[in-house]
Amino acid sequence: MRKIISLICLLLPILTYADTLDIRENAPDRHVVVKGDTLWDISAKFFKDPWKWQQIWGLNKDTIKDPHWIYPGDVVMLDRATGTLRIGDAPQPAVVSESTAIVPPEEIVKLSPRAREVPSERNSIPVIPLSAIGPFLTKPLVVEDTDLSSAPTIVGTYEHRELLSTNDVAYVKNMPSNKGAQWQIYRPGKTFIDPDTEEVLGHEVNYLGDAVVEKFAPVSELRITKATFEIGKGDHFALPTEVFPNNFEPHAPSTKIAATVISIYGGIDQASQNTIITLNKGKRDGLENGHVLALYQKGEVLKSGRMFRRTNVALPDVRYGLVFVFRTFHKVSYALVLQTRLPVQLLDTALTP
């Protein structure tokens, strides 16, 4: 028993240190929230590990109940004693009592009762820039082979038109009558293939518009209510995407995740900050919305030389950024690049930080 107690005492400082947040050397004492700020950006101003949400915002303390309810004009204060952030009060003009001091009339601040305006939750600042991920939250993006083969499909058009737009009529096969009348239209695009196993992970699709069923039948009749691109025969339908929350809870996965960057949205070869990337891991692998992963670039291999090295030497992989997983599918996930000091490249790895 004495040995066990001694071991616990020995490990306790190590465990405490592992849980300690690293405050940036140039961290300010306070920050006044402005429109356009995100909770991630604010956390990163003060700490090196902005994803350690529970500790950064002191959620287990009385300093702040919910970091999502922060608004422009609030003052975020760094409590260096506890290593957490709290909401302080903006400096107010001094009020001088006429009974205790004689001051010029123009310097007297007179207060009167008035209604206090409390901002709504809708005006609170988001965790990450929602403008960057908004289109990815409300549209079908990835479908699997089984879903693609059974999806309702346009087989004909009114007056044999080649291309359809808003208010045009389409004739659709395989349209179920028990899933509602509102549908989204998409066209299959890039196929995601796992670089390690060569498994087909799904098909990225392009959102084309919305439609409503006017008549259910073996060949149903639909009317296009919104067309963002031209629609035609062979295009598919999916149910409207579920509504996602505006805020996410950043947190590291509880298990070891090792994912690979298999695509950069827009068909480019390199990604920068606020770019969307696709990972070859999804819900089946334990990824969740809000997970934060660290980006790594494969270490350089130093070739053997006659004078100094007889064999090649592989340098360690280089950690260079962080990504925020915001939408997961069964086999793949979309993530937003939030921090990077190098260009994100295809086949870079994303690991549990």
Encoded tokens for 317: 């992989």
Using one digit for the tens of pLDDT, what is the confidence trace for 25-55? Answer: 899 999 999 988 888 899 999 998 888 877 8
Average pLDDT over residues 189-201: 94
pLDDT at 62 exceeding the cut of 60: no
Please state whether beta strands 30-32 and 75-79 pair in parallel, antiparallel, or not at all (unpaired). Answer: antiparallel
Other residues' Cβ atoms within 10 Å of the Cβ of residue 40 = 23
Encoded tokens for 55: 């500790």
pLDDT at 127 exceeding the cut of 80: yes
Q: Where are the domains of the chain?
A: 19-88, 136-238, 258-351
Average pLDDT over residues 309-320: 82
User: What residues contact 310, with CB distance under 8 A and at least 6 apart?
Assistant: 304
Residues 216 and 175: beta-carbon distance below 8 Å: yes
Residue type, 350: A
Residues 195 and 347: beta-carbon distance below 8 Å: yes
Residues 337 and 271: beta-carbon distance below 8 Å: yes
CA 322/CA 292 separation, integer angstroms: 7
User: What residues contact 151, with CB distance under 8 A and at least 6 apart?
Assistant: 143, 174, 236, 237, 238
User: What is the CATH number that goes with domain 258-351?
Assistant: 2.40.10
pLDDT grade for 61, boundaries at 50, 70 and 90: very low
Q: Note the Cα 67 to chain centre separation in Å.
A: 16
Rounded to two decimals, the pTM is: 0.77
Phi, psi (degrees; rounded to nearest 5) at 40: -65, -50
CA 343/CA 271 separation, integer angstroms: 6
